[in-house]
Structure 1
Amino acid sequence: MRSMSLHDPAVNSRLVPGARPPDDAHPTSASWLLPTMVLGFFIASLARQAAKPISDFDTFWHIRLGDDILASRSVHAPTASWSALSDRPWVPTQWLTEVVVAGVHEVAGLPGVAFLFATALFALTWLIHRLCRGRAGATAAAMTTGLTVVAMSGSLSPRPHLATYLLLAVTLIGWLRTADDLRPRWWLVPLTWVWAMSHGMWFTGPLLGLVVIGGLVADRRVTRAQATPLMVVPLLSIVVAGLTPVGPALWGTPFAVAGVGSFITEWQAPSFRMVGPAAAMALVALVTLVWSRRQERASWVEIGVLLLGTAWILLAARTVALGGLLVAPLAASALQTLVGRPRDVPSRAERRVIAGWMLLCLAAVGLAVPSTAATPAAVPTALDADLHDLPDGSVVLNSYQLGGWLRWAHPDLEPVVDGMTEAYSVDHLSDYQRVYALMPGWHEIVEAYDASYALVEEQSPLAEALRDKRWTTLAEAEGYLLLQRAATPY
């Protein structure tokens, strides 16, 4: 079994987006039209999803945090004033995207946020298709693009982590090109600097670079001396991440989730009975199957990218999307092998049709969101007036998923907890879990919160327990109860 080097033209046509395929690959309109139509239907379905009301609970506290940063003109000010119950120092890791979203919301409201989400979603789909189309024909690229977006679907919501997916896709294109021509992509350094202000997973870019460089050394494509200038790119990227307004404290943020990760569902191990993780592992299985059947050995660069992607898929539900994205171009190449014919060159007409259809779908989203996304979903907006009437500074024992919405819609209230878990200690989060599970001592914890009101699910055991403690119902709507503490201690 022989190993193929990445400078072999046959490998370049598989590895690098935009690389020329063998000369015998002559595209025809028939070869790309049908798969492009299928891709178009998929893009239209994404547009329909993007036009729905915003239902991700964390989106709301991101808007609120961006508002606070804009109002104070400081990325550090919200860390001191986020919550009266916040008992843990934290670092703003995604302030740039939060400021952008808050600015859009200030101008265009929630419809503007929904449109921004649609724009990012289409841009991500276009980048994934470009990665796949650079290694496969139209049919294999369209199929792999769809499967990759499905693999990432559990994390595709209007939140700052979309910036990581977009920038990781761009970074992957850059490092795959470096694997082809051995030239350092210095633009990855300022890209990482922007990334470090946009989302806390910025380090995935430099990590990918180190994996690719290690693969080049293992493939004997470069000597250690030749690898030195390449190594400067990821190392310098790590350095500049500490030169943002947050400062060197940003270097420690990848470990911040370690303490509170057990309280966050998306940081738990993925369930492969769910569509997203199952689709991601299908991509890995496809690559593994094809590699095991072909005569030439995969390059160490490809093996490294596959292992890194698989590790992200297995790590947590939150990181499945990262792994699916990294494996996508490898899966496209593997699927093209199964197709059994040379990859055709993307024609100008194909590119224009895809780009034009995406712009048309985006325009449709822009026309739809003023009526479809003007109000949030999955939150009790019918209780807005009642919540507005509560005294300023009132502590509200809230359902976890409503914390971010309360922070945004009713900033004068003090929810006990919200999705900004980095701002709370393990003890605080543990106490909150004890309250919701009605564990021994739960009512003493509620007393310690000094909560005068509660906003909880109507059918929850906690709601029943609070009413047993003589809490009275002020209002109820959309499956939630607004309760007031008894005038006398229970």
Structure 2
Amino acid sequence: MSAETATIPQAKASAIAEVPAWFWMACGVYALLLAVGSRLLADSDTYWQIAVGRWILDHRALPSVDIYSFTKAGAPWVSSSWLAQVLFAKAYDVAGWTGPAALAAACSAATFALLTAILCRVLPAIQASLIALAALVLTCGHLLARPHVLVLPIMMVWANGLMVASERREAPSFWLLPLIALWANLHGGFLFGLVLVGAFALDAMWNALPAQRLSLALRWAAFGIGALAACCVTPYGWGSILASLKILSLGELLHLIAEWMPANFSHIDAFELSILGLIGAALYCGVKLPLPRIALVLGLLHMALSHVRNLELFALLLPLAVLTPVATQFGLRAANFGRLKAAPAALLGAGLCAATWFVAARQDLAPPPIHSPAAAVDALKAHHAQRVLNDLQFGGYLIWRQVPVFVDGRAELYGETFEMAYYRALQLKDVDGFLDLLKRYDIDAVMLDPTTPASKFLDHIDGWRRLYADDRVVVHVRGSGEPAAARPAG
């Protein structure tokens, strides 16, 4: 083989090596999530999130009262995720269901690319990439086309900025404040960003010399006040904070919402294995952390154990919390992985854009049928049903189809008392309560999952008959007549 021929594969390998780990991570995660794009749409709330965004675009205004239900019509309600809803609506208008899926995939890819880049400042690229992939495994169940995914990259930049400031014994830059203002317009979880300010302020005090602590505390306090003020830079002002606090005060209801339920260790999963693995590694290697970082780690673990929706916070922020202390203790050093070159980056980017266009052109992506009971809603509309008592999982699709709902995923609107009474009624824990719901709200149709006890109960109540049934939904309406025959899934 000639020297000229041998240099060709070496040049290709060199070009590949010039692409840093974070860019490979971004491309890989985006391609993976786009390939399973329907999984990103597997949440019934995506329907009403896009519907709200379209209403905002059509009316050039923000909702201040409920306009989608007949049980809370006109009640005060603010959309704390208004900007995310607008972005999802625009993405849908541009590319159909591929648009929201691609937007969620892009933000997820940016999140894990940022995590990889942050870790690569201290760790070798291979180790940083493996940690980021482990975080991806833990969070993949909650990577959905919903507003919280759009703020994950913002959270990573915000947390990293606070962490770097605390380790340098400095106050954070006020240039970070626009980030939390953007966060507050995208998703109500911005309150956690304020919690992180307090956590890293304590860490900064711990790192500082005694003579520096008073001055540093005042500067962190000023930044904290600025962050609180930035959170009010929304169309709702202070109301955004109140709306987010309202969600956290739903009490017993939170235990009935899947993503707010505590972690379940009745069977082994990735979360349990990760906890056991981390504890074992820490005991074996003798990992030592400063007290503020221990408190942060325990706080993240408590949040993940309390509500499964917080698992991504644990997976994404735990590596940041332990990164510098562990790297210092064990003498870890980052390897020089090169800089991003324009040519390979452009080729990879062009390939991903082409893949996105191909998926959009084929129109393969759509929410799963279990959240899209089209035939059942068609039957309801043909029957001219006006007041439908629906299972929670169908609320988003009913809003999408412009049918007033009994209840949907906006738990902060309906409140603990209403939804707990609703839950007990549909589960027949309160039979009289179920009959009272039918009478009090003048229900003329009931749309429930076949496994919901109230669905079977209606088969034995005079004055009600089946209008439609398949393996995912059963519709009962007032009136006499023979029950409808079961129909195939739509």
TM-score > 0.5 by shorter chain: yes
* Secondary structure of the structure 2 residue equivalent to 1:455: strand
Structure 2 counterpart of 1:456: 448
Q: Is 1:443 aligned with 2:430?
A: no
Q: Is 1:86 aligned with 2:79?
A: no
Distance, in Å, in 2 between the alignment partners of 1:350 and 1:305 is: 37
Distance, in Å, in 2 between the alignment partners of 1:69 and 1:219 is: 47
Distance, in Å, in 1 between the alignment partners of 2:25 and 2:94 is: 36
Question: Which AA in structure 2 matches 1:485?
Answer: R
Question: Which AA in structure 2 matches 1:430?
Answer: M
Distance, in Å, in 2 between the alignment partners of 1:308 and 1:115 is: 32
Structure 2 counterpart of 1:69: 56
Question: Which of 411, 416, 421 does residue 431 from structure 1 map onto?
Answer: 421
Question: Which AA in structure 2 matches 1:346?
Answer: F
Q: Aligned pair count?
A: 455
* Secondary structure of the structure 1 residue equivalent to 2:234: coil
* Secondary structure of the structure 2 residue equivalent to 1:328: helix
Per-residue deviation, 1:484: 1.2
Distance, in Å, in 2 between the alignment partners of 1:34 and 1:172 is: 21
Question: Which AA in structure 2 matches 1:162?
Answer: V
Distance, in Å, in 1 between the alignment partners of 2:83 and 2:186 is: 5
* Secondary structure of the structure 1 residue equivalent to 2:190: coil
Structure 1 counterpart of 2:175: 187
Unpaired segments ≥5 residues, structure 2: 1-13, 482-490
Distance, in Å, in 2 between the alignment partners of 1:225 and 1:400 is: 52
Length-normalised TM-score, structure 1: 0.82
Structure 2 counterpart of 1:346: 337
Structure 2 counterpart of 1:175: 162
**Are the counterparts in 1 of residues 444 and 477 from structure 2 also a CA contact under 8 Å?**
yes
Length-normalised TM-score, structure 2: 0.82
Q: Is 1:383 aligned with 2:371?
A: no
Distance, in Å, in 2 between the alignment partners of 1:283 and 1:132 is: 19
Per-residue deviation, 1:40: 7.0
Structure 2 counterpart of 1:417: 407
Question: Which of 196, 200, 220 does residue 230 from structure 1 map onto?
Answer: 220
Per-residue deviation, 1:107: 3.1
Structure 2 counterpart of 1:475: 468
Per-residue deviation, 1:350: 8.9
Distance, in Å, in 2 between the alignment partners of 1:473 and 1:287 is: 58
Per-residue deviation, 1:220: 2.6
Per-residue deviation, 1:200: 0.5
Question: Which of 112, 119, 127 does residue 99 from structure 2 map onto?
Answer: 112
Structure 1 counterpart of 2:199: 211
* Secondary structure of the structure 1 residue equivalent to 2:238: helix
**Are the counterparts in 1 of residues 205 and 217 from structure 2 also a CA contact under 8 Å?**
yes
**Are the counterparts in 2 of residues 435 and 446 from structure 1 also a CA contact under 8 Å?**
no
Distance, in Å, in 1 between the alignment partners of 2:144 and 2:155 is: 17
Per-residue deviation, 1:406: 0.9
* Secondary structure of the structure 1 residue equivalent to 2:159: helix
Q: Deviations over 1:46-104 (max 9, x none)?
A: 33223557221111111112222223322234x24232202764332111111111222
Moved more, 395-404 or 28-37: 28-37
Question: Which AA in structure 2 matches 1:120?
Answer: C
Distance, in Å, in 1 between the alignment partners of 2:204 and 2:382 is: 64
1:282-361 aligned at under 5 Å gives the runs 285=279, 288-289=282-283, 293-294=286-287, 297-300=288-291, 302-330=293-321, 342-348=333-339, 357=348, 360-361=351-352
Question: Which AA in structure 1 matches 2:111?
Answer: L
Distance, in Å, in 2 between the alignment partners of 1:333 and 1:355 is: 33
Structure 1 counterpart of 2:236: 246
Distance, in Å, in 2 between the alignment partners of 1:154 and 1:460 is: 25
The RMSD of aligned alpha carbons is: 3.5
Per-residue deviation, 1:45: 3.2
Percent identity (aligned):
22
CA gap of 1:355–1:398, structure 2 versus 1, over 3 A, is: farther
Distance, in Å, in 2 between the alignment partners of 1:103 and 1:126 is: 25
